[in-house]
Amino acid sequence: MRIALARSLAVFCLCACASLLYVWTGLVEIGHGRSKRALGTSGAAVLTRQPDKQSPKTFRALLEGHVVHKARFGAHKNINNHTGYGSATGNLKVEQTNLNTHNSNHRQVHTGLHGLVEDGVFWSDRLESLLPRGFSNAHAQSWKNETRASQIVSLEKGCGRTSNRLARFSNGTKACVRYGINPDQVQGETLSYYLASLLGIPNLPPLVLSQVNPNSEQWSRVRGEVMESQWSENAVVSLTEWVSNLTGVVTPAPLRHEGRRLHPLQEDLDNRTTGEVLELVQWTDLILFDYLTANFDRLVSNVFSLQWDSRVMERDTSNLHKVPSGGLVFIDNEAGLVHGYRVLEMWQKYHETLLSSVCLFRKITASRIFDMHRLQDAAARLLILYRDSEPLAPELGFLSEDQAGILQNRVNQLYKHILNCKEKYSQF
């Protein structure tokens, strides 16, 4: 009896030990799994704070997945604006697609330089005729007249910096109101716009100035919003046309990698569709324009960031967007001219790097640069256009004498650069 009892007790103890071992093993596995998930979460957080070469892409993929999911169920809403901040597609990486893809001419693939380049370094007249129209002078003048005559009926947060606002007008249009941390930024935005007009570059949205006055007819209906914004009364702000249906723009391949170059050579332009080439035409204007204005807050900042972010050129370029027709839109030019000239020493080598990468030019842009070099009157021309076009020009002010000298010097440098390119490629 004792032997049977002892055997039963032994069996019971053995089963109990086995059960405990099983339960303990399961707990260890569960705990280990939790530990792995916790480490993964922690690791992701660390990567977000201290990105390595892979993390921007990883983080961006997560962001894109979230945004695409939201956009799919809210596609009926128009959520894009010309600031690109906070818009669903403004943060998405956009493939370099053909312009006007419904047009078979824009899908034509080119081999060689025939039909693309004339006189060595100039984009052909045929390409010029195919370019998206951009913001025409007639459209700009019409928009300016209507905006100056319309009441602002609401102010909403948006358009980038927290001090800026999205304004809705009584005529149904919208505009970005840029207050600026200091007047230099509004001045830079405004003078950059008029310099682009002088150069024949149609990629900047129309702009007018307005003086914040809650007692004026234009601002009276948003008196409360103005008070909440903490803007200074009588401050001069810029109003730029709000543009819908914008997508981001990635730097094109010829300018994306180390040794970037866009010259009139077959290897730089071969096997590209007409649509792709038309976008490159606009990029050459952009690089010359940002060099003139010393605007570092676009492609130049990307080149600078390559020191620690090797994939920065694979993501959307700051302050640059594209409309469905393929036209590029140069926005947020606050860093141009005034502030850009003040910090020029820090950014100049990056401006020079980008300028040296380009040896193809639009004829009209080069022609205007040649004229301003020949007459040495870049600042004088800009002042005349600005003063004649903008009633509030005296309130906002103009370039200092030193800044006017820098502008002329950069015009002269562009002139020399174009001549050097012509000399190098005139035989082709």
Q: Give the pLDDT confidence score for residue 313 in this predicted structure.
A: 87
| Structural tokens at position 360 | 């193809």
Angle at which helix 378-389 crosses helix 183-199, to 10 degrees, equals 110
Say if strands 247-250 and 316-322 run parallel, antiparallel, or are unpaired.
antiparallel
* % of residues, the chain, pLDDT over 90: 58
The number of CA neighbours under 13 Å toward the Cβ of 235 is: 23
Whether the per-residue pLDDT at 29 is higher than 60: the answer is no
Q: What is the pLDDT of residue 314?
A: 87
159-181 pLDDT per residue, tens: 888 889 999 999 999 999 999 88
Per-residue confidence (pLDDT) for residue 161, from 0 to 100: 85
**Each residue's pLDDT tens digit, 187-230:** 999 999 999 999 999 999 999 999 999 999 999 999 999 988 88
Angle (CA) 352 357 362, round 5°: 105
Residue 316 has pLDDT above 70, yes or no: yes
CA distance 144 to 173: 11
Q: Is the pLDDT of residue 39 over 60?
A: no
**Residues 258, 251: contact at Cβ < 8 Å?**
no
Residues whose CB falls within 8 Å of the CB of residue 390, separated by 6 or more in sequence, listed in order: 190, 194, 208, 209, 396
Nearest Cα to 314, choosing from 50, 56, 47? 56
Please say if the pLDDT value at position 68 is more than 50: no
Mean pLDDT of the chain: 78
Q: Residue 253 pLDDT > 70, yes or no?
A: yes
Q: What is the pLDDT of residue 183?
A: 83
CB of 278 within 8 A of CB of 360?
A: no
**Distance set, CA 80 to CA 49, 98, 207, 382, 388 (Å):** 28, 21, 19, 32, 33
Region 268-295 average pLDDT: 93
Residue 15 in this model has a pLDDT that exceeds 80? no
* pLDDT greater at residue 292 or residue 255: 292
107 band by pLDDT with thresholds 50, 70 and 90: low
